[in-house]
Amino acid sequence: MRLNKLAELIHKSAQHPDCSAATVRVHFTDILDHEKDPDLFTEVTGSNFTVSRTVNRSSVSKYMINDSPVDYKEVVQLLMEKGIDLDHNRFLILQGEVEQISLMKPKSENEHDQGLLEYLDEIIGSSVHVEKIK
């Protein structure tokens, strides 16, 4: 979505003209995959938690973990501890990034550039093996 301000996410219609905030809440739980069937898993008891973000008309955000107010750093720390890599943000491709990717050279010309091959290596995690391969 393209927005100038986060407040543009707040619903506004003739039926609901006075909404003062928008909230997104994501529910998480740890799971254990079954060895023989990749489609089956078991939830880890007591591992459920929620992360939410609320934005008000002034575009000020408030974060919560399990309905308790926290700052953004605490949300990032918890998600990183759970294995969600927010440093590389490769689970989401932003607008404009698709064009940028399509214009990449197939391979970088030097170690300071990034071509499509290096970009893909970073996404899938194989970039950590480059030095060993060399």
Residue 47: per-residue pLDDT: 95
Return the higher-pLDDT residue of 132 and 90. Answer: 132
User: What number is the average pLDDT over the span 23-43?
Assistant: 93
Domain ranges of the chain: 1-84, 88-134
Per-residue pLDDT tens for 108-133?
Answer: 888 778 888 888 888 787 877 878 88
Q: Would you say 19 and 25 are in contact if contact means Cβ atoms under 8 Å apart?
A: no
pLDDT of residue 74: 96
The stretch 32-41 carries a mean pLDDT of 91
Q: Are 18 and 57 in contact (CB under 8 A)?
A: no
b/e map of 28-66 (b: 16 or more CB within 10 Å)? eeeeeeeeeeeeeeeeeeeeeeebbbbbeeeeeeebbbe
Q: What is the pLDDT of residue 120?
A: 84
Confidence at residue 110, expressed as pLDDT on a 0 to 100 scale: 83
**Predicted confidence (pLDDT) per residue in 55-88, tens digit:** 999 999 999 999 999 999 999 999 999 988 777 6
pTM comes to 0.63
